[in-house]
């Protein structure tokens, strides 16, 4: 339940601030790209296009944590 609340709060924050959302999307895209090094750039862009919604949903809390750490210089 706590994980769901954390994810919901993170997703709400991303939906309210487009600059933060853009940062989080780029963060998750780069992280996903690092996990898929065997794909060509073209293959990855196609993969990202179709899987971005689920990746953004699942990674919202992680991205918000990374955003706060980057903003605070941690």
To which residue do tokens 């918000």 refer?
Answer: 64
In three-state secondary structure terms, 74 is coil
pLDDT at 66 over 70: yes
Q: What is the mean pLDDT of residues 46-62?
A: 94
pLDDT at 74 over 70: no
Q: Whose CA is closest to 63, among 17, 5, 32, 21?
A: 21
pLDDT at 1 over 60: no
Q: Whose CA is closest to 3, among 56, 71, 59, 41?
A: 59
pTM for this predicted structure: 0.85
pLDDT at 9 over 70: yes
CA distance 37 to 64: 24
pLDDT at 68 over 80: yes
Give residue 7's pLDDT. 72
CA distance 28 to 32: 6
């Amino acid at each position: 339940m706590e994980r769901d609340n954390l994810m919901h709060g993170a997703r709400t924050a991303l939906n309210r601030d487009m600059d933060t959302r853009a940062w989080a999307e780029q963060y998750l895209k780069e992280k996903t790209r690092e996990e898929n090094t065997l794909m060509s750039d073209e293959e990855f862009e196609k993969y990202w296009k179709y899987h971005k919604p689920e990746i953004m949903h699942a990674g919202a809390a992680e991205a918000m944590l990374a955003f706060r750490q980057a903003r605070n210089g941690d």
